[in-house]
């Protein structure tokens, strides 16, 4: 048996059998997800979630998208304010956790999370974007916003700022932008 086949078999066993078990034990599940799927997961703190929602000044009926929705905490907070909150997450383990959190919060039908890359989603129908991205993708995100967002759309970024947009408000490393 070749070394590749042994490695591939081992990886399949880890991915298909051990991963779901590890996911159930909390932190180890996150460590597994970081090592094998998507970007590093750093959840927004409760204070940052509250600040992001406050800065958006949401109105019931708005459609808001969370790029990299993680465990769904921001989706839930937005849905509680009466908006339709849509999240996109590349990590299937976090999508599963977000779905569970949305169910437990009673926000089914108000908050939605999908296992899909944020790069494949068109932003034209959304009133606002929220995100806690990695700093090295901010220029690419800015290009996406310039192409897809409608004028007047809001963008909230936790921690990282857009390179060429001027924030309307900055509070404790939370940036609010409005598409011109």
Listed by start position, the domains of the chain span 3-36, 46-178
Q: What is the pLDDT of residue 135?
A: 84
86, with CB counted inside 10 A (0-12, 13-18, 19+), is: buried
Chain length of the chain: 180
Query: Per-residue confidence of the chain (180 residues) as pLDDT tens digits?
Result: 566 666 666 665 655 555 554 554 455 555 555 555 566 778 899 999 999 999 999 999 999 999 999 999 999 999 999 999 999 998 888 999 999 999 999 999 999 999 999 999 999 999 999 999 888 899 999 999 999 999 999 999 999 999 999 999 999 999 999 999
pTM of the model: 0.79
Q: What is the pLDDT of residue 9?
A: 66
pLDDT tens for residues 106-135? Answer: 999 999 999 999 999 999 999 999 999 888
Superfamily designation of domain 46-178: Vaccinia Virus protein VP39 (3.40.50.150)
Q: What is the pLDDT of residue 27?
A: 53
Rounded-to-integer distance, Cα 114 and Cα 98, Å: 9
Q: What is the pLDDT of residue 128?
A: 98
Q: Is 58 helix (H, G, I), strand (E, B) or coil?
A: coil
**Tokens linked to 43:** 């959840």
> In the block, which residue shows the tokens 């916003």?
145
């Amino acid at each position: 048996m070749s070394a590749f086949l042994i490695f591939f078999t081992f990886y399949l066993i880890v991915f298909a059998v051990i991963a779901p078990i590890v996911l159930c034990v909390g932190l180890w599940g996150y460590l597994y997800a970081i090592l094998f799927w998507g970007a590093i997961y750093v959840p927004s703190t409760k204070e940052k979630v509250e600040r992001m929602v406050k800065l958006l000044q949401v109105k019931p009926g708005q459609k808001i998208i969370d790029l990299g929705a993680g465990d769904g905490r921001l989706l839930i907070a937005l849905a509680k304010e009466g908006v339709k909150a849509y999240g996109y997450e590349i990590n299937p383990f976090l999508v599963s956790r977000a779905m569970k959190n949305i169910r437990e919060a009673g926000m089914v039908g108000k908050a939605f999370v999908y296992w899909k890359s944020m790069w494949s989603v068109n932003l034209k129908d959304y009133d606002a974007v929220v995100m806690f991205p990695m700093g090295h993708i901010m220029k690419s995100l800015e290009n996406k916003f310039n192409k897809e967002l409608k004028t007047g759309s809001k963008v909230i970024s936790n921690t990282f700022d857009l390179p060429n947009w001027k924030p309307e408000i900055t509070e404790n490393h939370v940036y609010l932008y409005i598409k011109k």
